[in-house]
Structure 1
Amino acid sequence: LQEIMGTEGVASKHYFSAVFEEHNWNARRPRVKHDMANCLLDIGYSLLFNLVHGLIELYGFDAYVGVLHRQFYHRKSLVCDLVEPFRPIIDSTLRKALNLGQCHTADFSVAQGQYFIVGKKAAPYIQLFIKNLLEYREELFLYIQSYYRAFMREKAVSEFPFVNFEK
């Protein structure tokens, strides 16, 4: 498990550097909103997390029992596992918004080196993320449904669903 997590960390570092290379990217630091991009990623990932959590609740899963993400106090580990394939929706939404000049540092407050956005200033960003997540609502639903069916039928890991964004 530690080896997999280490590999994921290295891959993540290279991935984010490539995706946001044109935007003075330093590093992905969840919960430490040291720049506008990390703050917005946290917002987008929170929206995705809650959407996936709602879907797994429909199927009666215990959100706290994960596969790769292990049980940790108050962490919905299964949700953490199942959001992973859909994170690129948030990443590409943010990258596009940055490229189009739709993100403005003036919308954010900075306190103790961390970026914050609240109220009406946050609304356009939230709407943008939700709009793009809902474009993949069917893929999200079918993925969770397929996961449920594979789980209930005790399928081999190789028979669990994977995400294919090709349309």
Structure 2
Amino acid sequence: MPRLLSLDQSITSCGYSIFEIHNNQSELIDYGTIKLNTKLDYFERIICLENILNEMVKDYNIKLAIVEDIQKHRGTGLTTYKKLSSLLFFLQYFFYYRNIECQVVHVNTWRNGYRNVFGLPRINKDIVYEHIFNILGEPSDFDNHQSDSIAMGLFHCHHNLVLRNGLFNL
């Protein structure tokens, strides 16, 4: 069965979630954080990420990837921004080369969509974290990289499959 990989990209910790989509329903089947060794050279981290993604694609039969777009924040240095930009390029290339559709989604797009789907009055990183944390029953070792990737995946499923809240299985 085809599956969706939602990825909150980072040069240190990438949140991921995997959804199975069947008969216009989506089910969260796995999520976690890919922690990259910050002591390694940046390119070595990319190679490690590539190896992990290769395993995920093979193990989960990934057919679609959703990746959060990058944005420049005040305080983000140029070197970090360049690394994030090259990471986004790598991810797009990685999925393209494997014939996996890859969609890049801006943070405001998926957050506002998520807010609308769940009827939340406001939205930010902390609200998304708390909302997903509570829905999942307060899992241990849960972080905002995971919650962002899950929320992005849920937004994508709702937006593209015309799902209603009751058709999400978490």
TM-score when scaled to structure 1?
Answer: 0.29
Q: Which of structures 1 and 2 has the bigger CA Rg?
A: 1
Greater share of residues in strand: 2
**Higher RCO (Cα < 8 Å, 6 or more apart):** 2
Greater share of residues in helix: 1
